[in-house]
Amino acid sequence: MRIGFIGLGNVGGKLASNLFKNNFDLTVFDKDNEVINQFKNKCTKVASSIEQLVSNNDILITCLPSPEACNEVIKSSKGIAAYIKENQIWMEMSTTDEDQLKKHALLIESKKAIALEAPVSGGCHRAATGNISIFVGGKREGFEKALPVLSCLGRRILHVGDFGSASILKVITNYLATVHLVSLGEAWTIAKKSGLDLNKAFKGIAASSGNSFVHETESQVILNGSYNINFTMDLVEKDVGLFESLAEKLDIDLEISPLVLSIIKDAKEKYGSRAWSSMVVKRLEDKYETDFRAPGFPKELVDDEEKVKGYEI
C-alpha cells in the first residue's frame, strides 16, 4: 500500500516516521525544506508537488496546523481534490473545523474517492512511538480499508461514526485537556505557596481523584521548567476556539470556555504564539514571583509503553 503524507510538523512528522519504520511505501510533502531534508536523509521518497504525490499513492494523509492550511491543500487549483481519483483514500489527521471538513469530504467523494478523518490524541511522545489514540469518522468500508495503516500509527482506534463526528470528539477532548492545564496552574500555585514538597504533591495528585492525563504528562515538564510539551500557544488557542464555534453553532451558552480562552490569549500575548502551551501556568509563576520547579522530572516526555499493534476499541 503506497502512502503519501502531507504535513511534517510536530505531530505529522512523527506519524510519517512511524509509517517509514513500519516499511510502508511512503512519499512525503511539506513546504518546509529543512523538514523535507530530514526525511530525505532517512531515504524517504519526497514529492515535488501535491500532484505528483496524489498520482503515485493509494492513501493520502494530511496533518496540517490550521483550517486555512487544510483548505489550501485540499481545494486550491493544485490541491488534492484537483488530482484525486476513484478509490483513492484521503485521510485528514488534522484537528480542524467540522463544517470545513464535511465540505472537503463531499468534494473528495464527488471524485468517487474515499474520505476519512482521523484526528489523534495523546501527545507527541505517543505519536512518536505509535501508541497514540486515533478517532476516525467516515464510512465503515473506508475505515476497514485504512485500518492496517491506522494500526501502525496508533494503539487505540475508535470508529466514531459519520464524517465529522471524530473531529467534534477531538475538539471536545482538546478542550478538556486545556481546562485541566489551566487549572493545574492554580493548583501548583497553591501547592508552592503552601510550602508543599512538589515531588510529593505530584505523586499525591497522580494517586488521587484529582488526577488527569494532563497532570501525568504536562506537570512533569512544568516541574522541570522546560515546559516542552511539543504543542504551542497558537494551536491550543485554535482548539479552544473550535470548541467555542461548536457551542455557538449549537446555540449553547458556555461559562468556563470563554474564561479559559481569555487566559490562553493572555499567555500567548505574554510569551508568544510559538511558546509551549504549558507555559500558560507561567502567568501565575510571574504574578506571584515564584516557580514550580522540582528535581527529577524530564525536559521532554518519553513514551515507555511497549508498542503493540493498534486495535479497534
Evaluate if residue 216 carries a pLDDT over 90: yes
Give the count of domains, the chain. 2
Instruction: Flag whether 243 is in a domain.
Output: yes
State the CATH number of the domain containing residue 115: 3.40.50.720
Give the end of a domain, one of 140, 163, 186.
163
pLDDT at 96: 83
Instruction: Flag whether 265 is in a domain.
Output: yes
50-59 average pLDDT score: 96
Same domain, yes or no: 30 and 77 = yes
Give the end of a domain, one of 97, 131, 163.
163
Please report how many Cα atoms fall inside a 13 Å half-sphere around the Cα of residue 264, on the Cβ side: 28
Mean pLDDT of the chain: 95
Instruction: Flag whether 121 is in a domain.
Output: yes
Instruction: Flag whether 226 is in a domain.
Output: yes
pLDDT digit string, tens, across residues 225-271:
999 999 999 999 999 999 999 999 999 999 999 999 999 999 999 99
Instruction: Flag whether 292 is in a domain.
Output: no
Query: Which domain, by its residues, includes 197?
Result: 168-287
Give the end of a domain, one of 143, 163, 183.
163
Same domain, yes or no: 73 and 185 = no
What size, in residues, is the chain?
313
Same domain, yes or no: 192 and 147 = no
pLDDT digit string, tens, across residues 78-95:
999 999 999 999 999 988
Same domain, yes or no: 97 and 202 = no
pLDDT at 98: 85
Instruction: Flag whether 296 is in a domain.
Output: no
pLDDT digit string, tens, across residues 279-295:
999 999 999 999 999 99
Evaluate if residue 67 carries a pLDDT over 90: no
Same domain, yes or no: 52 and 121 = yes
pTM: 0.93
Evaluate if residue 1 carries a pLDDT over 90: no
Same domain, yes or no: 36 and 100 = yes
pLDDT at 252: 98
Kindly report which listed range (69-73, 202-206, 304-308) carries the lowest average pLDDT score.
304-308
Supply angle C-alpha 300, 283, 262, rounded to 5: 105
pLDDT at 264: 98
Same domain, yes or no: 182 and 100 = no
pLDDT at 197: 98
State the CATH number of the domain containing residue 185: 1.10.1040.10
pLDDT digit string, tens, across residues 177-207:
999 999 999 999 999 999 999 999 999 999 9
Evaluate if residue 305 carries a pLDDT over 90: no
Evaluate if residue 108 carries a pLDDT over 90: yes
Same domain, yes or no: 8 and 127 = yes
Retrieve residue 216's grid coordinates.
501525568
Contact status, residue 254 vs residue 248, Cβ threshold 8 Å: no
Instruction: Flag whether 208 is in a domain.
Output: yes
Same domain, yes or no: 36 and 156 = yes
Q: How far is CA 12 from CA 6, 69, 172, 187, 199, in A?
A: 8, 14, 21, 32, 33
Same domain, yes or no: 276 and 132 = no
Same domain, yes or no: 156 and 7 = yes
Instruction: Flag whether 299 is in a domain.
Output: no
SS3 annotation, the chain: CEEEEECCCCCHHHHHHHHHHCCCEEEEECCCHHHHHHHHHCCCEECCCHHHHHHCCCEEEECCCCHHHHHHHHHCCCCHHHHCCCCCEEEECCCCCHHHHHHHHHHHHHCCCEEEECCEECCHHHHHHCCEEEEEECCHHHHHHHHHHHHHHEEEEEEEECCCHHHHHHHHHHHHHHHHHHHHHHHHHHHHHCCCCHHHHHHHHHCCCCCCHHHHHHHHHHHHCCCCCCCEHHHHHHHHHHHHHHHHHCCCCCCHHHHHHHHHHHHHHHHCCCCEHHHHHHHHHHHCCCCCCCCCCCCCCCCCCCCCCCEEC
Same domain, yes or no: 154 and 189 = no
pLDDT at 306: 87
Evaluate if residue 43 carries a pLDDT over 90: no
